[in-house]
């Protein structure tokens, strides 16, 4: 991918190179993650699901995608 048209983001601690202009919604689709039961934090701020389509990934963004798991 052309460096000029790519952005480097961290997703759950892993480096990902994405095309410029990719939205959060597209990123989740790319990763095969359905939005039901998940939450996303972008640079330490929770992004409401309604804002996924309009949220464009920027260089050096840190994304955390979480869901529930077994616990006490």
Q: Which residues bind another protein (CB under 8 A)?
A: 11-14, 31-33, 36-41, 44, 46, 48-49, 64-72
Residues 14, 18, 21, 26: what is their CA dihedral angle, to the nearest 10 degrees? -70
Smallest distance, another protein to C-beta of residue 54, A: 17
Is the CB of 2 or the CB of 69 nearer to another protein? 69
Is the CB of 3 or the CB of 13 nearer to another protein? 13
d(C-alpha 57, C-alpha 72), whole Å: 34
């Amino acid at each position: 991918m052309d460096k000029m048209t790519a952005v480097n983001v961290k997703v759950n601690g892993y480096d990902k190179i994405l095309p410029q202009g990719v939205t959060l919604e597209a990123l989740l689709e790319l990763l095969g993650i359905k939005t039901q039961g998940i939450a996303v934090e972008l640079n330490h701020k929770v992004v409401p699901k309604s804002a996924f389509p309009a949220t464009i990934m920027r260089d050096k963004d840190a994304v955390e995608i979480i869901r529930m798991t077994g616990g006490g």
